[in-house]
Structure 1
Amino acid sequence: MLPDAYSRTEPESVETGACPFPLAVCAEMQFLDLPFIERVKHISREGFMVEIWDWTRQDLKRLAATGAVFSSMTGYVRGTLADRDGAAELLRTATQSIHAAKELGVPRLNLHGTGLDPDGLPVLPCAAGPDGAMWMTARDTLCRLAELGARHGVMFVLENLNAQIDHPGVPFGRAEDCLALVRSVDHPSLRLMLDLYHAQIGEGNLIAFIERALPYIGEIQVADVPGRCEPGTGEIHYPAIARALLRLDYRGVIGLESWAEGGESERALTRFATAFSLAA
């Protein structure tokens, strides 16, 4: 359960208290013994916002009826950033995602450097890294997505992914690459979904990166390394991250996108909230 000072909405300013950040929990990765709709209800009852992935697998009316506050969801169904045919499909399914997001009140729609298959592998792997033409196409696609988001009042967020363990061959996976693309577009409807689990594996030096990326961050996701379980189970000292975010005046959403160590989701949520409270 969250500390009393926590608010699961996203106000313009948050008073400093036991937990000064809006916190969200990924329903795809916690309470796996429950049906999906019950996971959403349970996370919401505990006072957290809810993250979902592929909205096409869900009953949107039932999700909306839970009364949960949703933080983000996947912003496309198919498509890729860096080739023309893939970009056209990405934009088409992003438009479909916007309609779903409006039904649920989801403010942020998540993107990746390429589409991912059910195992998290890129549909168009790029082991050698993207070339100049891919960079230009990706930037053009993101510009068009930013304009689409602005027209519909939603934000697209580009998530960094690690290629070493979870997503080998993914293009534009590095946090530095995602930041470079978002910065080059420089549009308020396109921001960075900074996943600190992936960034730790791929690059490390998390606080220094946060300091440079801060103006372009739309949301932060967390899990520990190794294992991708909740804060406190690995090498990342998340209370230090929390203090740095406070110092930098970040008050955006922090999402738990992790598995629960030992399948203990209640404990995972408690550890998550504790790591980002001022008392930690």
Structure 2
Amino acid sequence: MNALNKKPLALATALMAASLALPAAAQETQKSMQTQQAGASIRVGHNVVDAVDDVRENVADLIGSLRHSGVSMGVANWQQSDSQLDKMEQKLNQQMEHRLDEKAERTDDDWSTWITGDDYKVSVTQQVNELASNLDEVAKMLGGAKSQKMQEIDSADVANQVDDLQETVEDLVQALERMDGMSVNKPNLQKAQQRLDVMEKELDRQTEMAEEEWRPYAMGDQFTPGVQKNITELAQILRSLFQQS
């Protein structure tokens, strides 16, 4: 009789233990999911900052390339323009790089706090708009300029820098598309991607030019206007990313 009584008692005890364990297990599962979500947010948010830094680096490289080729590209008031480009390049390679490195070196806890706050979007938006402004200034300098005895090797370097910049801007657009909580204008991202696709095709066509076609273009008076057009387009694309229409 005692043995029979023990079985229901043992069963009841087991059921009670299981019922108590369920909330704990659910809490652990929820905690695990939150950790995974935080990890994903940190990773995706970090990708955006990395993409902005890549754009910064490419803008600085493009400016450096233009400083080397500016005279032959026909830029007016070259000494003044070169001085302005020098200041822009230094700012990109020092102040802005330092700000981005500081963000990238945060701990996970700092990132989780920063990425969910308003400062994250404000910081990213400001940096992207600053890069767009730099490109606007460069495009303005190239306005009305026509190449003068441009060296083919210099043209190739400038063209490569524009091509690299197009790719990094596209990487930024794609990183923003994967980012939640940024209040990014999704239609603007789609339009930006479409504009980048068109530019990529144009740049690919230049890359695929036969030598007898490339040399006259690279050393001719239409090279600088073509570069200016692409830089203006990239500046507009960057600025459009956070515009709310």
- Per the normalisation by structure 1, the TM-score is 0.24
- Per the normalisation by structure 2, the TM-score is 0.27
* Structure with bigger RCO (C-alpha 8 Å, 6+ apart): 2
Q: Which has the larger radius of gyration?
A: 2
More strand by share: 1
More helix by share: 2
